[in-house]
Amino acid sequence: MLLTGNRFLLPNCPIYVIQPHSKNQLLLLHLPVSNRKLVSSFWDLTLIKPLMDSELDAARAQIKELKSQLDHERKVRKKAESVNKKLMKELKGRESLEKACEELSAEITYNKAELTRLKKDTEEERKMMRVAEVLREERVQMKLTDAKIMLE
């Protein structure tokens, strides 16, 4: 405390004074109330400022860290979207290839059934041709036999 006349001033605070006759009671300088409040709040801020600065620095560091995390997340999301787009193209390609394979499989199945039917038809025609040939030969034999009988 500093002694000025009959008043003692608190160090670092030009607003508060101690008068020796008032039993160490703090008194404010003669300033209008609004000015006293303003000066008092500034003095309080000077005590709090180092704490606020350290908190502000910590908050800035957290913001910087969050920004870097956000940038990383954005990069990861864009890469995932790119991979997803490639996979969708591949999936569509596979689906169209699968559809073409199914169509070919259906066509092959149809062709096999048609081939089996044609083989069956051909076999029946061969049987009919053999029967027809046997019948012709029998007719020829009968005609020959008839001719021999007539000649005799």
pLDDT by residue (tens digit) across 58-115? 999 999 999 999 999 999 999 999 999 999 999 999 999 999 999 999 999 999 999 9
pLDDT by residue (tens digit) across 4-13? 444 444 444 4
- CA 21 from chain centre, in angstroms, equals 77
Is the pLDDT higher at 129 or at 11? 129
Contact 131, 139 (CB under 8 A): no
Confidence (pTM) = 0.43
pLDDT by residue (tens digit) across 12-59? 444 444 444 544 444 444 555 566 566 666 656 666 677 777 888 999
CA terminus-to-terminus distance, the chain: 172
Cβ contacts of residue 4 below 8 Å, gap of 6+? Answer: 17
